[in-house]
Structure formats: C-alpha cells, structure tokens
Structure 1
Amino acid sequence: MTTQPFVSLKGIGKRWNGKLGVEDVSLDIPEGAFVALLGPSGCGKSTTLRLLAGLEIPDEGKIVIDGRDVTTSAASDRNLSMVFQSYALFPHLSVAENVMFGLKVRRVPRAERLEKLKRALEITGLTGLEDRKPGELSGGQRQRVALARAIVAGQRLCLMDEPLSNLDAKLRNAVRKDIKKLQRDLGITVVYVTHDQTEAMSMADIVVLMKDGRIQQIGSPQELYSAPVNTFVAEFVGAPPMALIKGHALTGFDDDTTIGLRAENIRLEKPGKGRLVCTVTECEFLGAETFIGLAHDHATGLTLKAPGMALHPSGHTVEISFADGDLHVFDSGGKRVARAT
C-alpha cells in the first residue's frame, strides 16, 4: 500500500513578465521529513518556497498539502508556519509577547497561550528571557524567538527561508543543531531554503538541488555526494567539491567524457608511480586534516585530503594516484554515465 505524500508539488511553473522563476518543479515530501531546497542565488529555491507558502500563485501545476489542493489558497488557509531570514520580531514587544502574538490574534484562551509559551521557551532555551525586548537579545536568541513563535503555532508544516544567514559561523552551527533537534522532537515537516550546502547536508533527510529554476537532483545527502547525476551537482555538493578531469588526461577513458574525483580518494605517490603529475597551489591546515590544492592543465578543482599536518610548498610538483572504482564518469553533456570499474 502506497502512502500518500504529505506535501506534493506537481509540475509547478512560475514566470514574471516572461522571465523564468521555476519550471516543471515536481516534489513529493513525506510527513516528518526535513527537506532542504539547495542551490545558488537565483536558482528558484525561494520562489518554490513562496509558492508552497501561498505568497505567490503558480502559473501552472498543482500544490497539495495533507490531501488538500491549496494551489490558489491564501497563505493563511494552508495550515503552516514560517521562519524568515529576518527575524520579523516586533521591537516594542517582549519575547513572550512576540511568541504569543499569533495566538492572541487568533483569540486562543490566555491559559492555553501561557502553557504553549512555557513549552516553546523550554524547547528553545529561552526560559528566563520572557520580559526582554528583541534589542536586548543576541542574534542567536532572536532567531530562537522566531523558532518559538513557529512552535506555538502548532502547525505540522514549517517553512524556513535561510533563517541562519544573519548569524556568525559559530552561532549558525549551534542554531543548526537546535533546529534539527526541534524538528525531530516535534515530528514536524520542515522545508528549508539555503544556499549553504553544509547546512543542507548536515540537517536534511532529503536534499533538492536546483539550478536555473529547475530541479537537478532529489535524494539523501549521501546520494547527492556519492552519485551526482551531472557535473553541476558534483561540483556544488561536497567540501571541497568534486574535481573534474578531462577524459583524455587518463588512460582508458574517451576524450569527450569528464571524470569526477573526490578529495578523499586521491593519494600522493612516489615520483614515476602516479597517474597525474600536478603542481601544489595551496595548503589549508584544519587541525585533523590538510587540504592540498593541486593544478593540472586538464583538471579543475583538484584537491587532496591528507590526515594531520601535510604542508607542501606552493609550486612543488607532486604525483597523485587513485583507484578506477572511485572515479565518476560524465558524458559530453555533463550527465552521469556510471561509476568507473
């Protein structure tokens, strides 16, 4: 018996004055999933989220939430909550008043409001800050207030539009863990827009990678990393991204193919033993490992991942090797053909 998806986008398209926003976007989301809409600026991920939220109406296609066609329904009728990039807090209201604002507008009884407030503040670690104004909070605390407001709404679907982009790196890491834990504890379905592949890979069960208004690949983080469907996915997903080598640079591969190779699958060889001779361009020591940037006339993005400190001077010539089984093969159009054997 097939389970119906909780959220379904079917052939969604949106244009403004003939200019493409998104084209033929189809996506099924099971209940309780954490889905990341990932891609570079202008790829259509925020447009897709706005269409799902009801802030825009599609030119074609259908949107179904919990079995109900909401394609032309107002945002207020879609039973969802949103967390924005800007915290969207009222500066003159306290933390408690900001969190409960929506409940008050909906005339939820005071006792119920206070009970939901208490639980939301406990979940988000804001207990004790109820009377503070947003101006007295750190960026991370303000984002937690926005999360608490989404929690008290009690909706099964929560949309998040780059909620961490205003935070510094350390705070982003902390709040990222908070959001993932909240999603698991509450069992809600989250659709999360980000341009940061680290956020998408570390938080999401399902990643939807977009480019130029179209979906490139849908799958788990592991699937996108290990089996990219084209060279765009290969280069976008992973830190560092997959290196791409022209087929004619390697024995046994057609000239019109492109070969993909991950940093962890490259090893240094003694002179005369390697498959490619490269020049060191940079070394980035990160404590547990070192990323060694390499240049080759027929390759882009070549990086070797070495354990511990493994510094080599820039301009130094090295030879590298790798197993055929770790290579990814793409055709002349950039589409995945297979993994090499």
Structure 2
Amino acid sequence: MTNAPFVVMKAVAKRWNGQLGVEDISLDIDEGSFVALLGPSGCGKSTSLRLLAGLEIPDEGQILIDGRDVTTSAASDRNLSMVFQSYALFPHLSVAENVIFGLKVRRVPRAERAKKMKRALQITGLEGLEHRKPGELSGGQRQRVALARAIVAGQRLCLMDEPLSNLDAKLRNSVRKDIKKLQRDLGITVIYVTHDQTEAMSMADKVVLMKDGRIQQVGTPDDLYNRPANTFVAEFVGAPPMALIQSSVLGGFDASLTLGLRAEHVSIVSKGEGQLSCTVSEAEFLGSETLIGLSHEGTVGLSVLQPGLALLDEGTTVDIAFDAANLHKFNQEGDRMSEV
C-alpha cells in the first residue's frame, strides 16, 4: 500500500476578470520531495504557488495538504513557511529578531525561541551576525536570513518564490547548494518557483513545466531533457535547446512529423559523408567546448558541440551526421510520438 501524496492539487483553476491565470492544474507531491515549478514569465507558476499558500483562492478545483482540504483556508492555517524573492525582512530588526519574529507572534516561549534560532543560524552559516541589520548584510546573507526564518518555523512544507533571482551568478550557485542541502537535512517538502532551468534541473526531484497557465510536463529532470512531452518542452529545456527539424529535410519519415535532435548527438564529418550540409551561423567558445550554431532550411536551433576551442567562421559550410536512434519524433500538434 502506497502512502497518499502530501500535497494534492485537483483540477485547480484561477481566473481574473475572465483572464486565464491557471487552468486544470492537477499535481501530486510526495512528502520530502523537492518540486520545481518552471516556465517562462506569465506561465502561471507563481499563481500556482500563491494558490497553495492561500494567498489566492481557486475558482475551481481542490487543494489538499497532508490529507486536509485547505482549498479555502487562510494562509495562516496551512502549516507552511514561505521564502520570497524580496527576502521580506524587517529593516529595523536585527538578524536574530527577523529570524524569530514569527515565533514571537505565536508566543513561543523564550527558551525554545533561542534554541531554534541557534540551530537555524548554525545551519545557514549566520552565526556571529545575530545583531546586524539587513542593510549591513550582503544579498546572499539576507537570503540566508530568510531561509533561517523558514527553518525555525518548523513546518514540513516550504514554498519558495524565485528566492535567488536577486543574487549574482556566483552567489546563486552557492545558495542553490545551501537550499538543496537544507531540504535534504531537514527532510522537508519544498515547492520552488523559478524561470531558470539550471536551478530546476539541478535542485529538483520533480520538475513541473508550465506554459500559458497549463502544465506541459511533470517528471524528473532526466524525463524532461531526454523524453520531452512536446516541442515546447524540447525547446525550453536544455542549453542549447533541442533543434527541431521538418521531416521533409531528412526524407524517409512521415512528412507530417517534426524531428528533435540534441546538439551532443550531432557530429561534424568530412564533406559528402553526412546527412545534412549546413552553414555556420555562429560559434561560441564556452571553455571546455565550443557551441557552433548551424542553419539549414527547415530547421530551428540546429547546433553542434565541439570539444575545446573549435571556432569556425560564420558562413562556413559543414556536413553533419547523427544516429537516427537519437531523433525525437513529434506529431503535427507538437506532441511526442509514443515509442514502439
């Protein structure tokens, strides 16, 4: 007998003045998992998080947390914590006061507050900064204060809304590792909103990719990368994204198909030995490899990765080869064809 999911959204919809927010969102989330809601701006991921948090009430559908129907419950009754993009710290309070603010509001005894705060500061590496104000901290330290505040809340569910978007690239990488380690060490369930596929793919056990208020695919990072459900997923996930090729370009396939191909499955070969002759549109040195963009009528996003420094001049003609087994097949509607 399997345990019931910890968080459930059943056919949830939210609209404003007839305008779509989210539609038919159905999702099961296991306890202790790390789930990323991923997608472009305006796709509905933050709306979904606000519905889970109780900051918005759905027009349709049902939301359950730990087996309890919370569809219309206030945010304060949902037994969860939140970490925001803006940190949401009180500028006039010290680090310590910010961390335990919620505990004070709930009238948690002083000794217990001190014990929880000490552990949270140890976990987040903020020891020694207890008396500083947010204005005296770096962006990464401020985000750690927000994480510490979520930790002392002691809730089994933590919602995070683009918590790293205000940090520079190096700090994002560092705090990303902190958040994943915290989630594992504490055994909490994290639902994490981001538009950054690197964050989603590197941190999450399960990724929920959204577009225009609807879920496009739910699966592991490996599922989305290697078995995209449709052409939107194929083009959104991966750097570089999957190339899309009209089947008529290659021949031997049903003319209605669109074929997908990852850059790592493409090779540059000697003249006359490949399946396609392409023109180099760009070349970008990435350090350990060079990304070479290719153009050919009937293709979008075609590229090849070459090891080391392998720049080619724009306009150069090259032949490419690939194994047909690495082609992904999509029908006229853009949906993945089932593999036989």
TM-score band, normalised by the shorter chain? over 0.9
Match of 1:226 in 2: 226
Shift of residue 247, structure 1, vs aligned partner? 0.6
Task: Determine the C-alpha separation between the residues in 2 that align with 1:171 and 1:293.
Answer: 30
Provide the rounded CA distance (Å) in 1 between the counterparts of 2:260 and 2:130. 52
Counterpart for residue 184 of structure 1: 184
Identity of aligned residues (%): 76
Secondary structure of the 1:200 match is helix
Provide structure 2 residue ranges, at least 5 long, that are not aligned to the other structure.
none
CA deviations on 1:63-106 (whole Å, 9 max, x unpaired) are 00001000000000000000001010001111000001001111
1:181 & 1:293 partners in 2: Cα distance?
A: 37
Q: Which residue of 2 aligns with 1:198?
A: 198
Cα distance in 2 for residues equivalent to 1:63 and 1:92: 36
Residue 53 (structure 1) aligns with: 53
One-letter code of the match for 2:300? T
Which residue type is aligned with residue 56 of structure 2?
Answer: E
- For 2:122 and 2:283, locate their aligned partners in 1 and report how far apart those are by CA, in whole Å: 44
Q: 1:217 and 2:208 equivalent?
A: no
Corresponding residue of 2:62 = 62
8 Å CA contact 1:328–1:338 kept in 2: the answer is: no
**Aligned residue in 1 for 2:114:** 114
> Which residue does 2:29 correspond to in 1?
29
1:193 is displaced (CA, Å) by: 0.3
CA distance in 2, matches of 1:303, 1:182: 38
What does residue 250 of structure 1 align with? 250
Change (3 A) 1:326 1:338: farther
Amino acid at match of 2:6: F
Q: Give the distance between the partners of 2:203 and 2:47, measured in 1 at CA.
A: 21
Task: Name whichever of 200-209 and 296-305 sits farther off.
Answer: 296-305
- Alpha-carbon distance in 2 for matches of 1:284, 1:186: 41
Inter-partner Cα distance in structure 2 for 1:129 and 1:265:
50
- Ranges of 4+ aligned residues in structure 1 off by more than 3 Å: none
Q: Which residue of 2 aligns with 1:285?
A: 285
In structure 2, C-alpha distance between the alignment counterparts of 1:269 and 1:168, rounded to whole Å: 40
Matching residue's letter, 1:162:
E
Amino acid at match of 1:106: R
> Partner letter of residue 16 of structure 1?
W
What is the rounded CA distance, in whole Å, between the counterparts of 1:238 and 1:338 in structure 2? Answer: 21
Q: TM-score, normalised by structure 1?
A: 0.98
CA distance in 2, matches of 1:205, 1:261: 25
- Residue 338 of structure 1 and its aligned partner are, at CA, apart by 4.0
Equivalent residue, structure 1, for 2:274: 274
Distance 2:249 2:151 in 1: 54
Residue identity in the other structure for 1:311: L
TM-score, normalised via structure 2 length: 0.99
Alpha-carbon separation, structure 1, partners of 2:272 and 2:14: 56
| 3-state SS of paired residue (1:337) | coil
Residue in 2 that maps onto 1:311: 311
Q: Per-residue CA shift, 1:290-325, capped at 9, x if unaligned?
A: 111111111011111111111111111111010011
Q: Equivalent residue for 1:207? A: 207
Corresponding residue number in structure 2 for 1:335: 335
1:172-219: CA deviation from partner (whole Å, max 9, x where unpaired): 111111100000000000000001111100000000000111100000
Q: Distance in 1 between matches of 2:199 and 2:305?
A: 21
Tell me whether 1:134 sits opposite 2:134 in the alignment: yes
- What is the aligned-residue RMSD (CA, Å)? 0.9
Find the residue that maps to 1:336 and give its secondary structure.
Answer: coil
Name the structure 2 match of 1:302: 302
Partners of 1:295 and 1:126 lie apart in 2 by: 51
Deviations along 1:25-82, one digit per CA (max 9) or x if unpaired, are: 0000000000000011111100000000000000110000001000000000000000
Report the counterpart of residue 164 of structure 1 in structure 2. 164
User: CA separation in 2, counterparts of 1:265 and 1:146?
Assistant: 42
| Structure 1 portions without partners, runs of 5+ | none
State the partner residue of 1:91: 91
Give the distance between the partners of 1:63 and 1:293, measured in 2 at CA: 45
Counterpart CA distance in 2 for 1:243 and 1:198 is: 19
In structure 2, give the amino acid aligned to 1:333.
Answer: E
Q: CA deviation at 1:285?
A: 1.1
Counterpart Cα distance in 1 of 2:182 and 2:2: 28
What letter matches 2:232 in structure 1? F
Deviations 1:13-34 (A, max 9, x none): 1101111111110000000000
Paired AA for residue 278 in structure 1: C
Instruction: Say whether residues 1:103 and 2:111 are aligned partners.
Output: no
Q: Secondary structure at the match of 1:180?
A: helix
Aligned equivalents of 1:306, 1:122: Cα separation in 2: 44
CA distance in 1, matches of 2:232, 2:180: 27
> What is the distance in 1 between the residues matched to 2:145 and 2:282?
42
